[in-house]
Structure 1
Amino acid sequence: MNIILDYLLLFAIAVYSYLEAIVKCFIPLKRKSVSGDIVLITGSGHGMGRITACEFAKRQSIIVLWDINKQGLDETAEECRRLGATVHVYVVDCSKRLEIYSAAEKVKKEVGDVDILVNNAGVVFGTEFMQLQDHQIEKIFDVNILAHIWTTKCFLPAMMKKSRGHIVTVASVAGHVGICYLVDYCATKFGAVGFHTGLTEELHALGYDGIKTTCLCPVFVNTGFVQNPSTRLWPVLNPEYVVKCLMDGILTNKKMLIVPSSVKHSLVLQQFLPERVINTLNKMQDIQFGTQFRSATKKD
């Protein structure tokens, strides 16, 4: 096709898409039912993973819980069962590929094919790059990005056979911007965002439009994952609010969730602002946090 016709078609698609987006602002988005769906959530023994499991339990999904912490898993399972859900619990170390593969086979035999996969498990060390031990770097990559790949390899084939399913990637705004003392974490979250984006495009190219993908990218969430987080320009979010946004995104098949949505403007501006301005904004942001490995405090 003539390149001019290609551009005319592109322009027409852009106009239609903007008009559609404006119309949708005034029409409530239809939410899909997840009742009876098998939902597997990694890192579900605490924090956002536990809250997400409970939200699916309220919607009568069949819940599959994975975590390395058995006590946390049992507590999450008890909460979900109180909400009337059928729950299956598996102690899994998501830093170990063979353990993921083994647990996945058990899930397929004992529960069935997973309909919604929520890759939520994550770790953070929060220290200067040169102070990181090699085993810590390997661990954070194993859990924060490689586990997403191994779990998806396990459960995507069944989704492709049915041309139906949903793969959820819990990433972070740190997958879009660099943050000091989180070099390794940012690297894994950039990887998670890239994994989501690439997988989304590939599924579309292969014609599997029935398989949906959602990527969650919040700013700091007060889950205890990091201690006493604070910023001057971005809010520190409570996990219940973030999970509400995540559930809305899953049920309406949104591909990318930046939470809060106002942060999108900051991400766009960073592509155009001079480096000196970006550096000044980063200083103004004054991100503070602590972990068991590092305490970030203001220096007067």
Structure 2
Amino acid sequence: MKFVLDILLLLPLLILFSLESFVKLFIPKKRKSVSGEIVLITGAGHGIGRQTAYEFAKLKSKLVLWDINKHGIEETAAECRRLGAQAHPFVVDCSNREDIYSSAKKVKAEIGDVSILVNNAGVVYTSDLFATQDPQIEKTFEVNVLAHFWTTKAFLPAMMKNNHGHIVTVASAGGHTVVPFLLAYCSSKFAAVGFHRALTDELAALERTGVKTTCLCPNFINTGFIKNPSTSLGPTLEPEQVVNKLMNGILTEEKMIFVPSSIRFLMILERILPERFLALVKRKLNVKFDAVIGYKKKE
């Protein structure tokens, strides 16, 4: 009973903070400078990671680029240098904890303390539970969420010491709502979103308010990982479009970014709609892509 009374006493603050949030919608947010910051991006050899590297290069950050693909990471580094930034490529397997830790030591010794960490590397297997092989499930979690723990443990201490830094989690709309035949992927992205939210609260509890966090949750992106995706939410997103939203979110220190923004509204609906009506809404969304189905119905 006391808890309920305490909450009721907070209602005036709820009204005040809601009005404040509404007013802020019409005030342009100040963008911070990242010039000279050491930015480490995982999965920087292609797609979102590559485009993010290019945008940081234009802002004169110092780039540390990780990817398992040597050719891809060297191409990204070359373009970043052409854009006028320092770029240091490292071939790193983000499914391997020891490779992450040893590469992190090299980065700190040879380049310095990372102040912006973009955990972008990810894998996806489009198949039902039965067609998804055990090693594929393990790798999905190793890359999509466990790697975030290892990289953050490696680079966060310096950020906390200086009370300055930024941890960016590239998750997915699939970290908030589920899609059939992406069971391992959605599960790992739910974990990545949870990682972001828990880390955000933990930094606040430790009074490290200078270390910021941002989580990106986009819909299908045209990177080639998922074949022939479509949904009534709109056309498949282009990497440049998503990175534009991501960079704006990082520079204005936004905590959660949905692309398109309508996904945020759908998340609210999912929490309040009756289950049967929600099933109809999901049918209307008409999410489709090529997938391998291992389950065979009995004739």
TM range (shorter): over 0.9
Q: Match of 2:116? A: 116
Q: Secondary structure at the match of 2:258?
A: strand
2:114 partner amino acid: V
Q: Match of 1:212? A: 212
1:225 maps to 2:222? no
For the structure 1 residues 99 and 4, does the alpha-carbon distance in structure 2 shift closer, same or farther, using more than 3 Å as the test?
Answer: closer
Q: Secondary structure at the match of 2:63?
A: strand
2:115 partner amino acid: D
For the structure 1 residues 8 and 238, does the alpha-carbon distance in structure 2 shift closer, same or farther, using more than 3 Å as the test?
Answer: same
1:237 maps to 2:237? yes
CA contact 1:37–1:62 (8 Å) conserved in 2:
yes
Q: CA deviation at 1:97?
A: 0.2
Q: Secondary structure at the match of 2:229?
A: strand
For residues 118-153 of structure 1, the C-alpha deviation after alignment (integer angstroms, 9 at most, x for no partner) is: 000000011011111111111100000000110000
For structure 1, the residue ranges without an aligned partner over 5 or more in a row are 295-300
2:167 partner amino acid: I
For residues 20-71 of structure 1, the C-alpha deviation after alignment (integer angstroms, 9 at most, x for no partner) is: 2222222210000000000000000000100000000000000000000000
Q: CA deviation at 1:11?
A: 2.3
| Greater mean deviation of Cα atoms: 182-191 or 253-262 | 253-262
1:161 partner amino acid: K
Q: Match of 1:135? A: 135
| Greater mean deviation of Cα atoms: 9-18 or 224-233 | 9-18
For the structure 1 residues 129 and 29, does the alpha-carbon distance in structure 2 shift closer, same or farther, using more than 3 Å as the test?
Answer: same
Q: Secondary structure at the match of 1:89?
A: strand
Q: CA deviation at 1:288?
A: 1.7
Q: CA deviation at 1:234?
A: 4.2
Q: Match of 2:62? A: 62
Q: Match of 2:126? A: 126
Q: Match of 2:296? A: none
Q: Match of 2:178? A: 178
For the structure 1 residues 146 and 9, does the alpha-carbon distance in structure 2 shift closer, same or farther, using more than 3 Å as the test?
Answer: same
Compute the TM-score of the two structures, normalised by the length of structure 2.
0.94
Partner Cα separation in structure 1 for residue 164 and residue 19 of structure 2? 28
Partner Cα separation in structure 2 for residue 16 and residue 212 of structure 1? 24
Q: Secondary structure at the match of 1:288?
A: coil
For residues 218-273 of structure 1, the C-alpha deviation after alignment (integer angstroms, 9 at most, x for no partner) is: 01111112122111234421111100000010000000111111111111111111
CA contact 1:118–1:169 (8 Å) conserved in 2:
yes
Q: Secondary structure at the match of 1:227?
A: coil
Q: Secondary structure at the match of 1:40?
A: strand
Q: Match of 2:77? A: 77
Q: Match of 1:10? A: 10
Q: Secondary structure at the match of 1:233?
A: coil
| Greater mean deviation of Cα atoms: 19-28 or 155-164 | 19-28
Compute the TM-score of the two structures, normalised by the length of structure 1.
0.94
Q: CA deviation at 1:4?
A: 7.9
Q: CA deviation at 1:8?
A: 5.8
Partner Cα separation in structure 2 for residue 4 and residue 277 of structure 1? 31
Partner Cα separation in structure 1 for residue 120 and residue 157 of structure 2? 20
For the structure 1 residues 25 and 225, does the alpha-carbon distance in structure 2 shift closer, same or farther, using more than 3 Å as the test?
Answer: same
Indicate the RMSD between aligned Cα atoms, in angstroms.
1.5
Q: Match of 2:49? A: 49
2:166 partner amino acid: H
Q: Match of 1:196? A: 196
2:153 partner amino acid: K
Partner Cα separation in structure 2 for residue 38 and residue 14 of structure 1? 38
For structure 2, the residue ranges without an aligned partner over 5 or more in a row are 294-299
For the structure 1 residues 159 and 9, does the alpha-carbon distance in structure 2 shift closer, same or farther, using more than 3 Å as the test?
Answer: farther
How many residues get paired? Answer: 292
Q: Secondary structure at the match of 1:221?
A: coil
Q: Secondary structure at the match of 2:228?
A: strand
